[in-house]
A and B are shown apart, each in its own frame.
Chain A
Amino acid sequence: SQTIHQWPATLVQPVGSPLSLECTVEGTSNPNLYWYRQAAGRGLQLLFYSVGIGQISSEVPQNLSASRPQDRQFILSSKKLLLSDSGFYLCAWSGGGAYGYTFGSGTRLTVV
């Protein structure tokens, strides 16, 4: 069966520090991968998605970036965090269309 792993679960980082969040999927090949952010009390904002290795689509201009170095690995990064980067980050994968999304357990990022 397919599983998705996302870590860390919580993270407290100072303003201006770098960020690296990792997401890996097991049990499938060539998944579509996604990064979402939820600000407190708000809905889901799509940040990046990838349909293959090295293929990244950015939905929102920001100081975040994403990379897909391997088929089942998706990394969210920042060189310098801002206070506004605080939020709940979710990774998801999909086999397309009717398969829907499967979400990771999320990372609570607090920038202080």
Chain B
Amino acid sequence: AQSVTQLGSHVSVSEGALVLLRCNYSSSVPPYLFWYVQYPNQGLQLLLKYTSAATLVKGINGFEAEFKKSETSFHLTKPSAHMSDAAEYFCAVITNTGNQFYFGTGTSLTVIP
């Protein structure tokens, strides 16, 4: 079975500061991992994904994430936060034979000017 834990339901950073959103997964088989972003009253948009190629994955809007098998983690980072990064972020896991995602509970990012 697969599961995802996102530590910190709310994260606040100052504009220009490092963004770090944590995601730990559990999977009995090699996983595919995803980060999605959701702006208010909108659907979820794919930020980036890990599908067993490079462990450091670069996504849209300057975000990146590193797959660390030893730590079962897939944390999302951005070197410098922008006001437009304020949104809800979801981590998700699926296996290559699975039909459904397992989502984390989400992290709400606030960017302080």
- A-side residues, CB < 8 A to B, are 6, 32, 34, 42-44, 46, 49, 51, 88, 90, 92, 94, 96-98, 100-106, 108
Contact = CB atoms under 8 A, between A and B. Distances in A.
A100 B99 contact: no
Interface residues of B, number: 25
A88 B97 CA distance: 29
B44 to A, nearest CB: 4
Contact of A97 (B42, B46, B92, B96): B96
Given A98-B49, A100-B32, A100-B34, A46 B42 contact: no
A106 B99 contact: no
25 contacts: A34-B100, A42-B105, A43-B104, A43-B105, A44-B90, A44-B103, A44-B106, A90-B43, A90-B44, A92-B44, A97-B32, A98-B96, A100-B32, A100-B34, A100-B92, A100-B101, A101-B36, A101-B44, A101-B46, A101-B101, A103-B36, A103-B45, A105-B43, A106-B41, A106-B43
Given A43-B90, A43-B103, A100 B46 contact: yes
Contact of A103 (B41, B44, B96, B104): B44
A34 B43 CA distance: 13
Ranked nearest first, the 3 interchain pairs of A and B with the lowest CB-CB distance are A103-B43, A43-B105, A98-B51
B43 A96 contact: no
Contacts of A46: 100
